Structure 1
Amino acid sequence: MPDIEKLLKQAAMQIGAGGSAGFVEVCIMHPLDLVKTRLQLQSTRTAVHLSDPHYYNGIVDCMKKMYKHEGLTSFWKGILPPILAETPKRAVKFFTFEQYKQFFMFGSSTPTPLTFSLAGLGAGVTEAILVNPFEVVKVTLQSNKALAAQVPSTWTVTRQIVRENGLGSKGLNKGLTATIARNGVFNMVYFGFYHSVKGYIPENQDPLLEFGRKVAIGFTSGVLGSCVNIPFDVAKSRIQGPQPTPGVVKYSSTIGAIRLVYREEGFRALYKGLLPKVLRLGPGGAIMLVVYDYVYHFLESKFEVKH
């Protein structure tokens, strides 16, 4: 098979497998992403928070109040932007990871843990540039505490952002640096750990045990990546979400937002939303890798393409 035809077929398989993995992961885990964003957006130094019916004291409290005030469907607020982003996002993530991996071999005949980590970092940065506009719209929708039926559509919110603030750093690309830092660090740990550890744990001939091996490594990779990149995620939510005082930009830069949160709310505030993030990206990381792997191999058998 000519190299160009093989490359095109592999790209098509990555799009199909990546899109499937992203769609399944988002649909299952989106409610936890929403809870994470809500917890990250609220300040712990709010004088009126005790009387605010929308102030959340944790994951369970957040879910109870959202269900009470906004309805069951509110748990999937802002789901359309990530769904629309997942197919190109996963295609870019996995395809560019393979390309960066070749670049970071540094003369070695086989990939090293450093190769996997740097390739993951590059893939995460590339992914972030692509998906940041979707993230801005998603956070705007997730921060809306009205009844789900009263929340404006994704397209309406997108048009409003563009009309009021344009496409640049104050509009659809707001918080781009924070998104790059968040996605880059996560994927550096995620891919670095997964591919390095996977090489030390041999495949199992039993399909059920092999499934468990992939799930366990994927779960651990997602948890570690979440724990390392959470301060950047908090900064991203603060920058892209509603500012505490309307019309006054309090959070504008990544490092500035991290410093401000640390100074005003303490070190623990930089880890707001960590539990729902871990609960989402631990299983979510496993779901994504397992779905991707099985769909990719299914398409590989159909296309009759071998590495």
Structure 2
Amino acid sequence: MSELEKFIKQATMQIGAGGSAGFVEVCIMHPLDLVKTRLQIQATKSSASSDRHYYTGIVDCMKKMYKYEGLTSFWKGILPPILAETPKRAVKFVTFEQYKRFFMFGSSTPTPLTFSLAGLGAGITEAILVNPFEVVKVTLQSNTSLAAQVPSTWSVTRQIVREHGLGSRGLNKGLTATIARNGVFNMVYFGFYHSVKGLVPEYQDSIKEFGRKVAIGFTAGVLGSCVNIPFDVAKSRIQGPQPIPGIVKYISTTGAIVLVYREEGFRALYKGLLPKVLRLGPGGAIMLVVYDYVYHFLENRFQ
């Protein structure tokens, strides 16, 4: 088999495994992503505890969403990430492998620095492709109407393009924040997972080995979430509805972070951390484990 044929075969398996991992992770964990976005875009506290548009935490958000918007509201905005996940995960894993070769720095085996820099590169590449889907997703997630009354993904996309175009005020709004969020997350995520996975001995028992991968993937997802959350808050503020309609308050990533810090304090930069961790901890484990198992299944299938 030539090098080109080998590359095409590996890339095809990475696309299949990455797409499967992304689809499964999104379907299971999307409600927590929605709750995270709702908590991040609310800038001021309400004096009325019964205010349906203000949430004091994860449980309060879920209760009010269920009461006022219905059960299906937990999957608002799921179509954009589903449409994006197959190419997104494909790009993430394929480019990670290519960046890994580039960042070997003469070493015969990958080092933790190799994994981290390759993850950073993969995250940046992924962010550039996925940002338009993120803009549509956040717009849909921030809509507090009944799920049946929420406009379709396609109509929201057309409205954004019609009113703001494709640039930094339209479908590519918040691109820098998305690059920072995804780049930092994947740098920690891949760097930790592959470095630690190589240090912790594998188990012969399939159940224990499954537990080993889940534990490492879970920890990698939690660490990545804790490190990149300020960029995620900035992204949600930039891409979500502005506090005063018609006036753009959050423009740049750094500017949004500084504004949130000055007006709401340091803790506001970590809004939505708990649902983010609850989503990307197990979500990170699900994604890596599904990827590993599907990749090995395809590898054995097409030997």
TM-score, structure 1 normalization:
0.97
Q: Which residue is 1:255 aligned to?
A: 254
Q: Which residue is 2:290 aligned to?
A: 291
Inter-partner Cα distance in structure 1 for 2:284 and 2:277: 10
Q: Which residue is 1:30 aligned to?
A: 30
Conserved? CA contact 2:46–2:54, under 8 Å: no
Inter-partner Cα distance in structure 2 for 1:102 and 1:272: 37
Is 1:184 matched with 2:183? Answer: yes
Inter-partner Cα distance in structure 2 for 1:259 and 1:49: 28
Conserved? CA contact 2:221–2:283, under 8 Å: yes
Q: Which residue is 2:9 aligned to?
A: 9
Cα deviation digits, residues 125-151 of structure 1 (max 9, x gap): 000000000000000000000000000
Q: Which residue is 1:126 aligned to?
A: 125
Inter-partner Cα distance in structure 2 for 1:268 and 1:275: 12
Is 1:99 matched with 2:94? Answer: no
Inter-partner Cα distance in structure 2 for 1:81 and 1:59: 23
Inter-partner Cα distance in structure 2 for 1:13 and 1:49: 53
Inter-partner Cα distance in structure 1 for 2:52 and 2:30: 23
Inter-partner Cα distance in structure 2 for 1:167 and 1:269: 30
Structure 1 residue 189: Cα displacement = 0.2
Cα deviation digits, residues 102-141 of structure 1 (max 9, x gap): 1111111111111110000000000000000000000000
Q: Which residue is 2:269 aligned to?
A: 270
Q: Which residue is 2:165 aligned to?
A: 166
Structure 1 residue 3: Cα displacement = 1.4
Structure 1 residue 10: Cα displacement = 1.1
Cα deviation digits, residues 249-303 of structure 1 (max 9, x gap): 0000000000000000000000000000000000000000000000011111111
* Structure 1 residues 147-166: aligned runs within 5 Å: 147-166=146-165
Structure 1 residue 52: Cα displacement = 2.5
Opposite residue 301 of structure 2, the aligned amino acid is K
Q: For structure 1, list consecutive stretches of 5 or more residues without a partner in the other structure.
A: none
Secondary structure, counterpart of 2:133 in structure 1: helix
Inter-partner Cα distance in structure 2 for 1:56 and 1:28: 22
Cα deviation digits, residues 31-50 of structure 1 (max 9, x gap): 0000000000001x346665
Inter-partner Cα distance in structure 2 for 1:301 and 1:200: 25
Q: Which residue is 2:85 aligned to?
A: 86
Opposite residue 7 of structure 1, the aligned amino acid is F
Opposite residue 239 of structure 1, the aligned amino acid is I
Inter-partner Cα distance in structure 1 for 2:49 and 2:69: 19
Distance 1:212 1:51, change over 3 A: closer
Q: Which residue is 1:246 aligned to?
A: 245
Inter-partner Cα distance in structure 2 for 1:157 and 1:262: 31
Opposite residue 223 of structure 2, the aligned amino acid is L
Inter-partner Cα distance in structure 1 for 2:218 and 2:20: 18
Range that drifts further, 227-236 or 295-304: 295-304
Structure 1 residue 64: Cα displacement = 0.1
Inter-partner Cα distance in structure 2 for 1:160 and 1:60: 32
The sequence identity of aligned pairs, in percent, is 87
Inter-partner Cα distance in structure 1 for 2:46 and 2:89: 42
TM-score, structure 2 normalization:
0.99
Inter-partner Cα distance in structure 2 for 1:51 and 1:102: 55
Conserved? CA contact 2:123–2:185, under 8 Å: yes
Structure 1 residue 226: Cα displacement = 0.1
Cα deviation digits, residues 80-108 of structure 1 (max 9, x gap): 00000000101100010011111111111
What is the total number of aligned residue pairs between the two structures?
303
Is 1:229 matched with 2:228? Answer: yes
Inter-partner Cα distance in structure 2 for 1:292 and 1:110: 22
Structure 1 residue 65: Cα displacement = 0.1
Q: Which residue is 1:59 aligned to?
A: 58
Inter-partner Cα distance in structure 1 for 2:87 and 2:48: 40
Inter-partner Cα distance in structure 2 for 1:47 and 1:198: 46
Alpha-carbon RMSD across the aligned residues, in angstroms, is 0.9
Opposite residue 90 of structure 2, the aligned amino acid is A
Q: Which residue is 2:301 aligned to?
A: 302
Inter-partner Cα distance in structure 1 for 2:40 and 2:31: 14
Q: For structure 2, list consecutive stretches of 5 or more residues without a partner in the other structure.
A: none
